Amino acid sequence: MTNNIRVRIAPSPTGALHIGTARTALFNWLFARHIGGKFILRIEDTDLERSEVKWEKDIISGLRWLGLEWDEGPIADAQNQKSKIKNQNYAGKYGPYRQSERLDIYEKYLKQLLEKGDAYYCSCTKEELEKERNEQSERGIAPKYSGKCRSRKVSEADAQVIRFIIPEEKVQFSDLIRGDIVFDTSLFGDLAIAKGLRVPLYNFAVVIDDFEMKISHVIRGEDHIANTPKQILLQRALGFSTPVYAHLPLILDPDRSKMSKRYSATSLEEYRKAGYLPEALMNFIALLGWHLSDDREILSEEELIQNFDLSRAQKSGAVFNVEKLNWLNAQYIKTADEGRLLEIIKEIFGEEFGNLPLTRKLIASSRERISKLDEFKDINNFFFELPDYDPSLLIWKNTEPERIMENLRVAREILKGFLLDEFDKANLEAKLMPWADTRGRGEVLWPMRAALSGKDKSPGPFEIMDILGKDESLRRLDIALQKLESNN
């Protein structure tokens, strides 16, 4: 039976791939991988005015970055296209997987509905429809199309749209997440399903595609619940089987309002540029509206696949908590391969920055303090260039400046005695700490750390010196002494 499990993600290339669509894609992908089914990518690009190739590329790139490879769908690059399937731009036997390449299929089914009398040409203009809706609202009637073109003989040339006749009945379906749902279709009015024989609209095209592509389960956001009865009626009129539906909870901002660009609606590419790891983002969005019985929060891809069960999806909205995302990402950064982190840092800050020898050292020293990799430069900027700072930063509590200077001079002399290959954290700490204990750790270590970083918050002095090296460490202590001497 699992061979017949087929799910899909069907984004429109009218904008960047964002968290909401990525979450829906992930749930479909996990469902297919858990049960041994197929995951299909379909590009719904019939909105010719708004669809752009650049957004399709963004969708494909984002899904691949997240690790959501599809079993059937568009082939993303020319090399695959050339090597896998000759003269086709898709992989799978139910293609094409772009709606713009399926117009002949839609035309066939539209003609079928028109010939059976289940659909008709409608010549009502936008202005007429608006006037009708306003009049209904004034009478306290829920606005819907009156169906006045049903009995008219409207030619194809004069038509504004093709409408499907909605039977007035109760439509019930069982949702895997929400249970039984019932709609009274007498409230709908006849449904616009195309602007012409070769210009299908969403509700019609998705019914045709899901049937032709043998989709068994439709897992999508709850904003599509109202579309479901309309699609079921179209399926019945065309003699199609009805897939199993599951409607995921909406993603909400922290104030429980609909997600906005300030939080969760940010494009996936922006998260990538900010230095989130794909496995951390996958982990995070998997828990937006779904959880395990033991409420574990850190789950690998394998664990997500193994444990995925739609019965554990919640009905209420899922709050997007950016603090939790940052915490999760920080956990993944701590254990990620250093070479991989270096490559991501190169992507964010440029190839030259990533190739600096200092960068490799800093990854090891700062990964415990970073929640996303775009913080790397700000956290470590003083390693690359000592910021200008006020001499008062060097003073520990109420210690006299003269004593601070004396301590820095002694420390400098001790450091001068190290050979280059001895200048590391362990040796520095072993040599300097016994002396610092005799003088007072605070009045020795605070001025040293401030002199080396130019900041009031930074790693400890031994860690900084290990990374800077002997010559740069001595140079920065000299600068500190000059500041104190000039200030006295």
Active site residues: 261
Other C-beta atoms within 10 Å of 401: how many? 16
Judging by beta carbons within 10 Å of its beta carbon (0-12, 13-18, 19+), is residue 381 exposed, middle or buried?
A: middle
Asked whether the beta carbons of 209 and 238 are under 8 A apart, the reply is no
Residue 423: CA count within 13 A, CB half-sphere: 20
Report which of 102, 103, 106, 125 is spatially closest to residue 114, judged by C-alpha positions.
Answer: 106
Q: Closest by alpha carbon to 480, among 377, 397, 411, 378?
A: 411
Tracing tokens 């600096």 back to the chain, one arrives at 356
Q: Which residues of 332-368 are buried (b: 16+ CB within 10 A; e: fewer)?
A: bbeebeeeebbebbeebbeeeebeeeebbbbbebbbe
469 φ/ψ sector (left φ>0, alpha ψ -120 to 50, else beta): left
Position 367: which residue type?
R
Give the up-direction half-sphere exposure of residue 1: CA atoms within 13 A in the CB hemisphere. 3
Total length of the chain: 488
The strand pair at 119-122 and 191-196 is best described as unpaired
Which tokens hold the place of 110?
């539209």
Q: What distance in Å separates the CA atoms of residue 299 and residue 282, rounded to the nearest whole number?
A: 9
Q: Pull the structure tokens for residue 219.
A: 């897992």
Question: Are the C-beta atoms of residues 238 and 109 closer than 8 Å to each other?
Answer: yes
Integer distance in angstroms from the first to the last C-alpha of the chain?
84
Among 329, 367, 306, 263, which residue's Cα sits nearest to residue 18? Answer: 263
- Cα–Cα distance for residue pair 27/200, rounded to 1 Å: 27
